[in-house]
């Protein structure tokens, strides 16, 4: 072997060693948990339309609680969700603008996570569980789980690193060379937090994932959500209901500024819409049917949402 050939082989061996070290380094980084209490996953399910400002079958905000439950000797974290409210269309779909009903929290499922093994299990019922995510896999490894469609074995095709909106890297595990069939460390499946990894275009997915009130993942984090969180700046703005429940009192002490008050029923129908331009405004409720409603105050710098009960 001549000198040039030896140098070429040495370069190839060097590159292979460096590539292996890089791959090993990426796996040696600290594991980023999926189950945590400082994060919201805003997910949708959609049978018909998908577009900013469009309509969906349902939209939910998932989160993990501090509550735990034991099944078959394993301790699971309880996850819950807040339903989104919106305006229904002729197909009985949920249309934007959306508000989040942060009172009607419902249990959705139970998960447990081994942060050493980097595996997440989901409880299936009847004292049975299944792997939903395995973040320890390497290229060529197989994810075999009864949670996946038809108990199909999924082989890792390749692994890359994606940057979240806050600049932090996360491993992403692909199971198809051509289709977007993957899940992401600390985020979940591309179809949603609790969905099997199967490609179904425009069917399910994320609007936004927020961590510590910061958007970290998703394409629609601020496009058409109204009243997702109460975001009052230091403006002393408020929504209050008098003790008789017959009047809503709006405090908006912002000279030379205007706001909009909206009242939605739990079906997502807009009942009242009124411009607010004075420091205090009374909204009479005597002509409104008894029930549960979402009251909103929206202005340039923020918004408030409040669940109210009307008894007429």
Highest-confidence range of 129-143, 250-264, 285-299, by mean pLDDT?
129-143
The whole-angstrom separation of Cα 163 and Cα 187 is: 12
Structure tokens, 161: 């690193």
Top CATH class of 238-310 equals mainly beta
Which of these ranges, 4-8, 39-43, 194-198, has the smallest mean pLDDT? 4-8
Nearest alpha-carbon partner for 82 in 210, 250, 186, 236: 210
What is the per-residue pLDDT for 312?
76
CA distances 121 to 114, 208, 216, 237, 276, Å, are: 9, 23, 24, 44, 50
* Whether residue 2 has pLDDT greater than 70: no
What is the per-residue pLDDT for 8?
55
The whole-angstrom separation of Cα 141 and Cα 118 is: 14
The whole-angstrom separation of Cα 226 and Cα 228 is: 6
Q: Which residues contact 78 (CB under 8 A, 6 or more apart)?
A: 64, 65, 67, 68, 69, 107, 110
What is the per-residue pLDDT for 101?
75
Structure tokens, 170: 């996360």
Total count of residues recorded for the chain:
312
What is the per-residue pLDDT for 28?
47
- Specify the 3-state DSSP secondary structure of 311: coil
What is the per-residue pLDDT for 256?
62
What is the per-residue pLDDT for 191?
86
pLDDT, tens digit, 9 for 90 and up, residues 233-245: 446 788 888 877 6
Of residues 287 and 39, more confidence is placed in 39
* Whether residue 270 has pLDDT greater than 70: yes
* Whether residue 198 has pLDDT greater than 90: no
pLDDT, tens digit, 9 for 90 and up, residues 85-120: 766 555 667 776 677 777 777 888 999 999 999 999
Buried b (16+ CB within 10 A) or exposed e, 141-161: eebebebbeeeeebebbebee
pLDDT, tens digit, 9 for 90 and up, residues 255-265: 667 788 888 77
Of residues 216 and 92, more confidence is placed in 216
pLDDT-derived band at 51 (thresholds 50, 70, 90) equals very low
The whole-angstrom separation of Cα 240 and Cα 114 is: 45
What is the per-residue pLDDT for 59?
84
Highest-confidence range of 53-62, 124-133, 274-283, by mean pLDDT?
124-133
Phi/psi at 55 (5° precision): -125, 150
The whole-angstrom separation of Cα 220 and Cα 303 is: 18
* Whether residue 232 has pLDDT greater than 80: no
What is the per-residue pLDDT for 161?
94
Distance of CA 242 to the CA centre of its chain: 35
Over range 170-188, report the average pLDDT. 93
What is the per-residue pLDDT for 4?
63
What pTM did the predictor assign? 0.66
Of residues 14 and 100, more confidence is placed in 100
Over range 293-307, report the average pLDDT. 74
- Cβ neighbours of 280 (radius 10 Å): 11
Which DSSP state fits 217? E
* Whether residue 280 has pLDDT greater than 70: yes
Residue 155 forms beta bridges with which residues?
142
């Amino acid at each position: 072997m001549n000198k040039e050939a030896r140098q070429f082989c040495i370069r190839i061996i060097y590159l292979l060693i460096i590539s292996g070290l890089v791959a090993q380094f990426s796996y040696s980084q600290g594991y980023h948990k999926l189950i945590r209490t400082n994060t919201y996953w805003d997910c949708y399910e959609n049978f018909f339309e998908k577009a900013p400002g469009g309509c969906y079958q349902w939209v939910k905000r998932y989160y993990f609680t501090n509550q735990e439950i034991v099944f078959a000797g394993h301790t699971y974290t309880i996850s819950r969700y807040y339903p989104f409210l919106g305006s229904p269309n002729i197909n009985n779909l949920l249309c934007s603008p959306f508000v989040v009903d942060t009172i009607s929290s419902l249990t959705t499922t139970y998960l447990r996570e081994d942060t050493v093994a980097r595996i997440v299990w989901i409880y299936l019922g009847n004292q049975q569980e299944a792997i939903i995510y395995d973040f320890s896999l390497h290229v060529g490894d197989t994810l075999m789980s009864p949670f996946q469609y038809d108990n199909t074995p999924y082989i890792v095709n390749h692994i890359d690193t994606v940057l979240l909106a806050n600049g932090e890297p996360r491993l992403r595990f692909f199971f198809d060379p051509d289709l977007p069939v993957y899940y992401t460390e600390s985020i979940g499946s591309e179809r949603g937090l609790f969905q099997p990894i199967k490609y179904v275009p425009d069917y399910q997915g994320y609007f936004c994932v927020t961590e510590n009130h910061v958007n970290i993942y998703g394409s629609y984090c601020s496009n058409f959500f109204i009243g997702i969180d109460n975001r009052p700046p230091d403006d002393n703005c408020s929504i209050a209901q008098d003790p008789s429940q017959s009047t809503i009192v709006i405090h908006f002490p912002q000279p030379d500024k205007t706001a909009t008050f909206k009242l939605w029923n739990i079906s997502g129908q807009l009942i009242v819409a009124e411009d607010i331009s004075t420091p205090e405004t009374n909204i009479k409720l005597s002509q409104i049917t008894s029930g549960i409603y979402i009251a909103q105050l929206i202005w340039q710098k923020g918004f408030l949402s409040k669940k109210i009960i009307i008894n007429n």
